[in-house]
């Protein structure tokens, strides 16, 4: 008998952008490798709200989806290790390496299996540096009382030095900046561009590197297991290629970044090592300690996960 064509629905959100290029590439590769037998139908927001993509995977509404760990920490406690502030990740390749190490840890796989989900790949994000209006803030004391749009671990870090993390959605960030609801916004570069915060900014921190968000792409386990061997092989083998494409594409965007800053007249602020060290000691250590304690109390290997991230980073650096 003839093999039946497989069609997967994929739920992402927003518009097609650097952040979704690996998903687009994956769909393209898989279809090529299976001669169009296995196709993916990528929907930008039509199938689910972004914060419910994991629920959608769990009930089998669609077969593949992207979400961010910080949207709902209680749904995905394990991978929030990757959103701790000041992990020390300095480029996208390292972000890919630490993410895949954590994704392969049994604790992460177990927690995702409770949602019927399997972690496929990450959507590597650069460090969430901040743009701001008015006077440059490059001393820790100047963060006191600063209203910053930051979520998850990054928000915690700013809170630790007296700033006020303020919740506005990404789409409202520009408005919030313009209206003075926030003084600064922490985003990856592509988001500063696509949400327009760069147009409003007077300065951008080049090396604050407070941390990033972690946004995995997951597949429904039943759907994955019911793929034919050839289809599964096509999917698995396409992941590294899709990530390479993503990195190359994001690299182009980062190359243009300095030109964008210049064009918009945004000052590039370098924070001194002394201030960075001070920030880290106030924010990184206590938040990490608290996170590990919280995870261990819930029976999750917090310390082990953190050590895994650090070991992977060390390996990655000595290897390259």
Partner 1 sequence: MSDIEIGLWVTAGMMFLVVLGMRVAFAAGLAGFVGLVWLRWNGFDYDPARFGKAVEISVKIAGQVPHSKVSSQALSLIPTFILIGYLAYYARLTTALFEAAKRWIAWVPGGLAVSTVFATAGFAAVSGASVATAAVFARIGIPEMLAVGYNKRFAAGVVAAGGTLASLIPPSAILVIYAIIVEQDVGKLLLAGFIPGAFSAVVYAGLIVAIAMIFKSVGPPVTGFTWRERLVSLPPALPILAVVVIIIFFVYNPFGEAWGTPTEGGAVGAFIVFIMALLRGMRLRELLDALLETAKLTIMIFTIIWGVLIYVRFLGFADLPHAFADWISSLSAPPMLILICILLAYAVLGMFMDAIGMLLLTLPVVYPAVMALNGGEMVSAADSAFGMSGPMCAIWFGILVVKMAEFCLITPPIGLNCFVVAGVRDDLSVQDVFRGVIPFFIADAVTIALLVAFPAIVLWLPSLAG
Partner 2 sequence: MLSDSSIISKLDRTLLPIERATAILSGLAAFSLMFLAAYSVAGRQLDRTFLAPFFDKIGLMDGPLPGYVDYIEALMPLIAILGVSYVQREGAHIRMDILVGRLQGRALWLFEFITVFCMLVLVVALVWGSWAHFDRSFDCARPLCSRDSSIDIGLPIWPSKLVVPVALSVLTARLLLQMAAYARAFVLGIKSPPAVPLIQSVAEQAAAEAEQLKEVGK
Nearer CB in complex with partner 2: 35/298 = 298
For residue 66, state whether it binds partner 1 (rule: CB under 8 A). no
What residues numbered 24-43 form the site for partner 1, per CB under 8 A? Answer: 41, 43
Q: Which of 28, 142, 178, 278 binds partner 1 (CB under 8 A)?
A: 178
Q: What is the torsional sign of CA 287, 293, 297, 300? A: positive
Pull the structure tokens for residue 274.
């002394």
User: Which residue ranges make up the site for partner 2 (CB under 8 A)?
Assistant: 51, 55, 58-59, 70-75, 145, 147, 151, 155, 164-169, 181, 298
Nearer CB in complex with partner 2: 239/295 = 295
Do residues 154 and 83 lie in contact, with contact meaning Cβ atoms separated by under 8 Å?
A: yes
Do residues 244 and 21 lie in contact, with contact meaning Cβ atoms separated by under 8 Å?
A: no
For residue 60, state whether it binds partner 1 (rule: CB under 8 A). yes
Do residues 148 and 168 lie in contact, with contact meaning Cβ atoms separated by under 8 Å?
A: no
Nearer CB in complex with partner 2: 3/59 = 59
Nearer CB in complex with partner 1: 172/304 = 172
Q: Which of 21, 24, 37, 52 binds partner 1 (CB under 8 A)?
A: 52
Question: Cα separation of 226 and 292, whole Å?
Answer: 37
Nearer CB in complex with partner 1: 63/94 = 63
- Among candidate residues 203, 200, 151, 155, the one with its CA nearest the CA of residue 175: 200
Least Å distance between CB 112 and partner 2? 13
DSSP per-residue string spanning 36-86: TSEEEEEEESSS--GGGHHHHHHHTS-SEEE--GGG-GGG-TGGGGGGSTT
Residues near partner 1 (CB under 8 A): 9, 15, 41, 43, 45-49, 52, 55-56, 59-61, 168-169, 171-172, 174-176, 178-181, 199
């Amino acid at each position: 008998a003839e093999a039946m064509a497989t069609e997967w629905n994929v739920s992402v959100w927003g518009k097609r952008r650097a952040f979704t290029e690996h998903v687009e590439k994956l769909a393209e590769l898989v279809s090529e490798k299976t001669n169009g037998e296995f196709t993916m139908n990528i929907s930008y927001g039509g199938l689910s709200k972004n914060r419910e993509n994991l629920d959608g995977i769990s009930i089998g509404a669609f077969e593949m989806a992207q979400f961010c760990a910080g949207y709902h920490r209680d749904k995905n406690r394990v991978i929030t290790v990757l959103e701790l502030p000041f992990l020390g990740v300095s480029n996208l390749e390292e972000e890919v390496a630490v993410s895949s190490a954590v994704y392969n840890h049994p604790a992460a796989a177990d927690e995702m299996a409770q949602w019927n989900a399997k972690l496929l790949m990450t959507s590597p994000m650069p460090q969430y540096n901040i743009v701001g209006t008015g006077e440059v803030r490059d001393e820790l004391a100047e963060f006191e009382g600063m209203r910053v749009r930051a979520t998850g671990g990054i928000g915690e870090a700013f809170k630790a030095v007296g700033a006020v993390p303020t919740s506005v959605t990404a789409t409202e960030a520009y408005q919030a900046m313009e209206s003075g609801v926030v003084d600064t916004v922490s985003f990856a570069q592509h988001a500063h561009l696509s949400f327009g915060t760069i147009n409003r900014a007077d300065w951008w921190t080049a090396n604050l590197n407070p941390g990033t968000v972690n946004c995995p792409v997951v597949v429904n386990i039943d759907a994955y297991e019911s793929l034919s061997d050839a289809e599964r092989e096509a999917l698995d083998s396409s992941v590294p290629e899709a990530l390479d494409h993503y990195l190359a594409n994001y690299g182009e965007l980062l190359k243009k970044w300095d030109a964008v800053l210049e064009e918009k007249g945004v000052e590039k602020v370098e924070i001194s090592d002394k201030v960075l060290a001070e920030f880290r000691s106030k924010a990184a250590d206590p938040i990490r300690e608290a996170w590990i304690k919280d995870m261990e109390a819930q029976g999750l290997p917090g310390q082990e996960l953190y050590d895994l991230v650090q070991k992977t980073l060390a390996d990655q650096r000595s290897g390259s």
